[in-house]
Amino acid sequence: MPAGLSNVVAIATGYSHVLALKNNGTVIAWGDDSSGQTNIPPDLTNVVAISAAWNSVGSVALKDDGTLVSWPAKSDVLAGVTNAAALATGSGDSSGLAFMSNGLAIAWGDNTYGQTNIPPDLHSAISGSLGSRHDLVLRTDGTIFAWGSNIGATSGNAYVGQATIPYGLSNVLMVSAGGNQSLALRSIPIRITSVCFENSNAVVRFYGLAGKSYFVQVSTDLDVGSWVPLTVLPVPGNNEQISVVDPSTPATGSRFYRLVMVQN
């Protein structure tokens, strides 16, 4: 690593080189330069994102005007792009991926395993990750697109399914593609699923995660200081639907409920 390197806001690692983006929009590179992948253009400024891949693909920078700069400049796909919004993370073996402000994507580099064959129905793309042989893309609605190889590079060419998305996967915040595997970070919504009446009392139902505890609070006017819990102790989650009874449900008037998760 270069001595005295500071003010770094992002790092990208390739096969044998590293890029660092500084807070002033400039880029520092070090490592193997056999293909010119650390030979940063001298006039490169106003960079907001970086990507580093294997030596044959090199390095790519996204500027604040939506243009892309690559070195060594080997891809005609990047020329003329003016609406890029993000770069895929990870270090694909020999390919790259960028996302446009209109939700579409462009890919470049090696296509041995279909890494650059972007599905024609891909839209609303906002970020993604490059694996060794496959790509993952996150969309604005929290769903994922994937393409490329489903064969393991180190498993005797056996099917491992890294580009096959689990059925029903949603609420995804972030994706990461590895060599023979894929990861997705999900957000589990914390919300009340229903309120109904049983034996003249309101019953509040919600889905509680195991290892977490919850208070169901009630208010009659939504004022900040008017919320009170329905139970003395928090209710533990069990990965199932939970019911909490409001024993003081009035015959008339308004009652408002909210769910608060307690950190164990």
**What pLDDT does 160 receive?**
66
Mark the ranges of the chain whose per-residue pLDDT is less than 70.
55-57, 73-75, 91-93, 152-160, 263-264
pLDDT of amino acid 79: 82
- How far apart CA 197 and CA 264 sit, in angstroms, is 30
Segments of 67-223 assigned E as strands: 68-71, 84-87, 89-90, 95-100, 105-109, 125-130, 134-139, 144-148, 172-177, 182-186, 192-198, 201-208, 213-219
pTM of the model: 0.72
83 and 66 in contact (C-beta within 8 Å)? yes
Look at the block and give the residue holding tokens 């700069």: 69
